[in-house]
Each structure stands twice: as C-alpha cells, then as structure tokens.
Amino acid sequence: MTNSRSKRLELVRNLNQQDLDNISEQLAKQRETLQGEQEKLQQLQGYRDDYMDSVRNLKHTNVQQMQSQRSFIQRMHMACEQQQAMVAKVNEHCEAIMHVWQQQSQKLKKLEELIERYQREEQAFADQQEQKLIDELSTQKASRRTSAF
C-alpha cells in the first residue's frame, strides 16, 4: 500500500497548505497596508482639526487671510475624504482576501478529514489482512500438528 489514496492526497494537502500560507501572507500585508492608511487618515484629521482650532483662536484676520484659510480647510477636508475612500478600498480588499482565506482553510480542513478517513480505512484493511494471515498460519500449524499424529 505504498501508493495508497491517503498518501496521494497528502501531496494535494501540501499544495493546499502552501496556497493557504500564501494567502495568509497576502492578508498580513493587506492588514499592514490598512493600518498604515488608517494612521494617515488620523494624522490628516488631527492636522486639520489643529489648524481649524488655530484659525478660530486668531483675533485679527483680513479677508485675504480668511479666504486662504477657508481654501486650505476645504483642501484638508477633501484630503480627508480621499483618505477615507482609500481606507474603505483597502478594507474591502482586506475583507476579500479574508474571505478567500476562509474558503481555502475550509477546503484544507475537509481534505485533512478525508485523508484521516482514508487512513482509518487503510489501517482497518491492513489489520484485516494481518488477521487473515495469522488465522491462516494458525490453521496451517494446527493441521500440521494433527497430520503429525
């Protein structure tokens, strides 16, 4: 039984495990990217809020300064919105990879369960063969004893 079903499926299981490992690496990288993008968003929002606080605390501003400040605040809002969109996009990609990882993990688990079932069947068959051989040897030994008398 050197070429048993369970041994053949071990190769398939190993390939599936490699796929799962690759997907895990992709997921880890994507999560790192997501964390980086979230940090950028927090920094942008913090900078925008700090700037708005400093503008509010100004006592003397002329019209040109106010227009410049308003324009800058609008650009900061747009940058925050763009970064929020980037975070959402990266998060969606992260969730998609996670879904693929879950599917691959389930596939691997089912494959491992099948291999275990085949191994149990193969062991039961081997045990039966061994018992048959023992029975035959016992029968032969008994028949030699009776024929010796």
Q: Cα–Cα distance between 57 and 39 in angstroms, integer?
A: 27
Q: Cα–Cα distance between 77 and 73 in angstroms, integer?
A: 6
pLDDT above 60: residue 1: no
Give the number of other CB atoms < 10 A from CB of residue 87. 20
What pLDDT sits at residue 141?
Answer: 82
* pLDDT tens for each residue of 65-116: 889 999 999 999 999 999 999 999 999 999 999 999 999 999 999 999 999 9
Q: Cα–Cα distance between 82 and 86 in angstroms, integer?
A: 6
* pLDDT tens for each residue of 27-44: 999 999 999 999 999 999
What pLDDT sits at residue 133?
Answer: 92
What pLDDT sits at residue 55?
Answer: 85
User: Model-level pTM?
Assistant: 0.74
| Residue 57 confidence class, pLDDT cut points 50, 70, 90 | confident
Enter the CATH code of domain 5-122.
1.10.287.1700
